[in-house]
Amino acid sequence: MRRLTWFNATSLTLGFAFLYIPMIVVIIYSFNESRLVTVWGGFSTKWYGELLQNEAFLSAAWVTFKVGFFSSIIATVLGTMGAYVLVRGGRFYGRTLFSGMIYAPLVMPEVITGLSLLLLFISIGLDRGMFTIILAHATFSMCYVSVVVSSRLVSFDRSVEEAALDLGCTPFEAFRLVTLPIIAPAVISGWLLALTLSLDDLVIASFVAGPSATTLPIKVFSSIRLGVSPEINALSTILIGIVTIGTIAASLTTKRAVMRRQREERMAEQAG
């Protein structure tokens, strides 16, 4: 009983208009010749040129990229281990505390996470900078990775792993040759999620960054506070563009993978 009534069509149109109009306005005004953000002064790409010459933004973008790269890798390794322990670890001392610590950061307000990590770094005398941002980001993103990977681990048939062990694999070989390829899609989407979270984070980074390292969100936040500017419009457009291309590419890849699997299944049926 799927039908597109006028009610559904209106709510979809209005809903998506609400979600997209603000972003589309930003994109349009990034090509505005005028410095004033509300007056249209003709088409121009000059703000992109100014953005690319803005040293402060470029260095902040580079810091953000490095932080995202390292923290998402650490988060993926730790998060996958965490998911494995959560699903396969069996009983061990402090299991409830462990699963609590995996789920708690997902709902914790960022101001509290940021404050507590900053106080930790200060009390152990760790200098704030890129390293502390990486540690902080790896910690909260590993929890997201764990949740994504553990949902895949739960639904997977354990007997293949046991078969590998019976056939003489060491537990590590069984993990590398059997388990990892099966959970790979979840690990990759966990890594992408960790990367996005790290690139996007403002609150935690501004607590733990210190004066020596500024990430792009911190830089953007401080310039937005001074008012709307065409450079920020240009930067936003670039970021929205990257995300759009990335999301569409990812969805096309999964769609193609699903279609290939269906075709293989059909061929296997015919052959059998």
Partner 1 sequence: MRRFSLIAVPYLWLLGLFMVPFLIVFKISLSDVALSIPPYTPTLELSDGWAGFRDFLSQLDFENFEFLATDDLYWKSYLSSVQIAFISTSICLLIGFPIAYGMANAPKEWQPTLMLLVILPFWTSFLIRVYSLIGILSQEGMLNQFLMWVGIINEPLTILNTNVAVYIGIVYTYVPFMILPIYATLIKLDGSLLEAAEDLGCSRTEAFWRITVPLSKAGIIAGCFLVFIPALGEFVIPSLLGGSDTLMIGKVLYEEFFANRDWPVAGAVAVILLLILIIPIVLYQRNEQKMMEAET
Nearest-approach distance from CB 154 to partner 1, in angstroms: 10
Told to check if 6 binds partner 1 by CB under 8 A, we report no
Told to check if 214 binds partner 1 by CB under 8 A, we report no
Among 41, 49, 181, 246, which residue sits at the site for partner 1 (rule: CB under 8 A)?
246
Told to check if 228 binds partner 1 by CB under 8 A, we report yes
Told to check if 21 binds partner 1 by CB under 8 A, we report yes
Q: DSSP string covering the chain, please?
A: -----HHHHHHHHHHHHHHHHHHHHHHHHTTBSSSSSSS---B--HHHHHHHT-HHHHHHHHHHHHHHHHHHHHHHHHHHHHHHHHHH--S-TTHHHHHHHHHHHHHS-HHHHHHHHHHHHHHTTPPPSHHHHHHHHHHHHHHHHHHHHHHHHHTS-HHHHHHHHHTT--HHHHIIIIIHHHHHHHHHHHHHHHHHHHHH--HHHHHH-TTT---HHHHHHHHHHT---HHHHHHHHHHHHHHHHHHHHHHHHHHHHHHHHHHHHHHHHHH-
- The stretch near partner 1 (CB under 8 A) out of 49-57, 79-87, 156-164, 178-186 is 79-87
**Residues of this chain, 145-184, that bind partner 1 according to CB under 8 A:** 146, 171-172
Nearest-approach distance from CB 127 to partner 1, in angstroms: 13
Q: Which residues have C-beta within 8 Å of that of residue 230, sequence separation ≥ 6?
A: 29, 30, 32, 35, 37, 47, 50
- The stretch near partner 1 (CB under 8 A) out of 2-10, 52-60, 160-168, 261-269 is 2-10
Told to check if 11 binds partner 1 by CB under 8 A, we report yes
Told to check if 203 binds partner 1 by CB under 8 A, we report yes
Of 17 and 184, nearer to partner 1 (C-beta) is 17
Nearest-approach distance from CB 270 to partner 1, in angstroms: 26
**Residues of this chain, 86-145, that bind partner 1 according to CB under 8 A:** 89, 92, 94, 97-98, 101-105, 107-112, 115-117, 119-120, 122-123, 135-136, 139, 142
Among 45, 212, 251, 262, which residue sits at the site for partner 1 (rule: CB under 8 A)?
251
Nearest-approach distance from CB 251 to partner 1, in angstroms: 6
Of 25 and 52, nearer to partner 1 (C-beta) is 25
- The stretch near partner 1 (CB under 8 A) out of 15-23, 50-58, 161-169, 176-184 is 15-23
Q: How many degrees, rounded to 5, is the angle at CA 132 between CA 126 and CA 133?
A: 160
Among 54, 73, 196, 210, which residue sits at the site for partner 1 (rule: CB under 8 A)?
196
Told to check if 82 binds partner 1 by CB under 8 A, we report yes
Q: Which residue has the tokens 């790290």?
A: 198
Task: Quote the distance between the C-alpha of residue 252 and its chain's center.
Answer: 19
- Return the half-sphere exposure (C-beta side, CA atoms, 13 A cut-off) of residue 135: 17
Told to check if 8 binds partner 1 by CB under 8 A, we report yes
Number of residues lying near partner 1 (CB under 8 A): 81
